[in-house]
Amino acid sequence: MNAVKHPIKRSFVFFLIPDFTMIAFATALDPLRSANRMLGYEAYRWRLASIDGKPVRASNGVECAVNTSLEEERKKMAGPDRPNMAIVCSGVNVERYQNKSAFAWLREEYNRGVAVGGLCTGAHILAAAGLLSNKRCAIHWENLPGFSEAFPKANVFADLFEIDQNIYTCAGGTAALDMMLKLIGDDFDENLVNRVCEQVLTDRVRSPTDRQRLPLRARLGVQNSKVLTIIELMEANLSEPLSLIEIADHVDLSRRQIERLFRTEMGRSPARYYLEIRLDRARHLLIQSSMPVVEVAVACGFVSASHFSKCYRELYARSPQQERVDRKQLLAA
């Protein structure tokens, strides 16, 4: 009696970028292996690719061997080994990655009907390839400020993952697991997803819109709901800071009450705290983007570059310009 031949559900190419994040890569790949094991046949296939077919070093220093180069992937594009999905695996320092050949390959895959995806900071690569204009996408929260400024036409969200038609992006870390479990559920059913969850010791598939970061209450160790509401207002209004009077109107407190609450809960004035979170955003932009310092200043609510530089130096003991120089030297080392 002939054995039942099961069709392949999807085949993947994981394209590894230097300094890719290992946890995002592993939590995207292993659910596919577990699904195959639960099913008892190979529903999912995958291979790893790099620009030149040589091993790629992850951000944790581990080198990962690959199966193909982009030249070989191009040859497979018109044949039976064409993938169903090409997923970019990247991580730190993604903003300095510039490879026209890789960008062209991603466009070619997408234009031929292959789904494309990005893990962790992979959305940055997809946007640089011109694939995210007017598309919903997700990226790691740490890279979101620089990404928003560099690619204003992309609809980026601080979600765990986003699926916009044939484009799949996630914020990295364990969010890659949630995105792949969603994909497995679409291909099969909830029963298989539950069995894979049991196998990898997770109790549920999180919603795409679940928080990337810890809630403010846990992140800051603050319990006062009024203070948390004020901080959320501040974080939502960095380019055009609210006045203390406007904040007071929002939360139905007096200025004096807000001052007292912040001194008690945060150990500093609300004005000082607001300044610090604006400068923190500025630091991310300086590190992640090539925006002129004056544009960074405006994006973070400062009326002049000189005032911005003075405040930045007071907090970080170096100027915005020196921050950029130090970052370049670190990358070159």
DSSP state string for 208-242: TTS-SSPPHHHHHT---HHHHHHHHHHHH-SSSPP
If phi > 0 it is left, if psi is from -120 to 50 it is alpha, else beta; for residue 53 that is: left
Total domains, the chain:
2
Q: What amino acid occupies position 43?
A: A
Lowest mean per-residue pLDDT among 1-10, 82-91, 100-109, 232-241: 1-10
194-240 tens-digit pLDDT:
999 999 888 778 888 776 766 666 677 788 889 989 998 998 899 99
Provide the 8-state DSSP code for 91. Answer: B
Specify whether 66 is located in the same domain as 191: yes
Q: State the number of CA atoms in the 13 A half-sphere of 214 facing the CB.
A: 7
| H/E segment holding residue 43 | none
Kindly provide the b/e burial profile for residues 72-94, where b requires at least 16 CB atoms within 10 angstroms of the residue's own CB: ebeeeeeeeebbebbbbbbbbbb
Q: pTM to 2 decimals?
A: 0.77
Same domain (yes/no): 187, 270:
no
Is 196 in the same domain as 238? Answer: no
* Domain at 282, CATH number: 1.10.10.60
> What CATH number should be reported for the domain holding residue 172?
3.40.50.880
Q: Which residue has the higher pLDDT, 73 or 205?
A: 73
231 and 107 in a common domain:
no
Does 184 fall in a domain?
A: yes
Q: Which of 212-226, 264-278, 310-324 has the lowest mean pLDDT?
A: 212-226
Determine how β-strand 155-157 pairs with β-strand 68-69.
unpaired
Distance from C-alpha of 59 to C-alpha of 56, rounded to nearest angstrom:
10
Within this chain, do residues 187 and 220 fall inside the same structural domain, yes or no?
no
**208 in a domain, yes or no?**
no
Domain with 185 in it: 10-200
Q: Does one domain contain both 319 and 193?
A: no
Domain boundary residue, one of 167, 200, 233: 200
Residue 205 lies in a domain: no
Residues 234 and 263 in one domain: yes
